[in-house]
């Protein structure tokens, strides 16, 4: 799949776009990691930042698909998302976890751990390891010339498991199965699923 083909999948449907991101490679300089876990969010979803309407914070969410929406979560962690759907819609895919491929020493130094399976096993950990902050908000993640970008998977992930998203409050679509993982890479995901269901 080419970057523009992935952009089109994201434009058409955030859920299918989320699945298509599994197996893709997140790149920043020497750092490379295979995306193994994602979550989808739509504007009609009470758990989405765009649910209550457009704000300066969520402006990037309403832009073109393929761009980075980076936000600070609870004043503790940066979180990396990629915009989906057409302009003015407000859909994103959260990159929850990845398998480190290259640049592990840099990741370990930033994360202050030498446990490889813990380097990128959560969205906050991933952002810390890659040095992702709000300065990267609005970057086109599907443009390879950008310092932070995503290289689409050349072979689609076929063994995908789905389940409820992590940390969603009851009543805010907490049971909607829009968390997707590469079921062949369970050692690298953020939180184990109680039960694996094929997506």
Per-residue pLDDT reduced to its tens digit, 93-127: 999 999 999 999 999 999 999 899 999 999 999 99
CATH numbers and ranges of domains, the chain: 3-198 (3.10.300.10)
Q: Which two tokens stand for residue 195?
A: 């039960």
- For residue 194, what pLDDT band results from cuts at 50, 70 and 90? low
List, for residues 72-95, the tens digit of each pLDDT value.
976 778 999 999 998 888 999 999
Beta strands in the chain (DSSP E): 25-28, 31-41, 68-73, 77-84, 91-102, 148-151, 160-163, 179-182, 197-198
The pLDDT-based confidence of 56 (bands split at 50, 70, 90) is confident
pTM of the model: 0.93
Helix ranges, the chain (H) = 3-12, 14-21, 104-111, 123-130
Residue 172 has pLDDT above 70, yes or no: yes
């Amino acid at each position: 799949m080419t970057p523009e083909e992935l952009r089109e999948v994201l434009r058409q449907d955030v859920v299918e776009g989320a699945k298509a991101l599994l197996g893709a490679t997140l790149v920043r300089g020497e750092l490379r990691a295979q995306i193994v876990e994602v979550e989808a969010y739509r504007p009609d979803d009470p758990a989405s930042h765009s649910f209550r309407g457009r704000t300066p914070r969520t402006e990037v969410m309403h832009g073109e698909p393929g761009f980075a929406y980076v936000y600070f979560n609870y004043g503790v962690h940066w979180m990396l998302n990629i915009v989906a759907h057409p302009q003015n819609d407000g859909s994103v895919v959260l990159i929850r976890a990845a398998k480190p491929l290259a640049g592990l020493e840099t990741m370990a130094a930033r994360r202050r751990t030498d446990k490889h399976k813990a380097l990128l096993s959560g969205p906050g950990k991933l952002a810390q390891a890659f040095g992702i902050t709000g300065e990267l908000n609005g970057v086109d993640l599907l443009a390879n010339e950008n310092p932070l970008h995503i290289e689409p998977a050349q072979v689609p992930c076929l063994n995908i498991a789905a389940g409820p998203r992590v940390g969603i409050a009851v009543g805010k679509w907490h049971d909607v199965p829009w968390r997707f993982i590469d079921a062949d890479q369970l050692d690298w995901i953020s939180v184990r699923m109680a039960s694996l269901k094929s997506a």
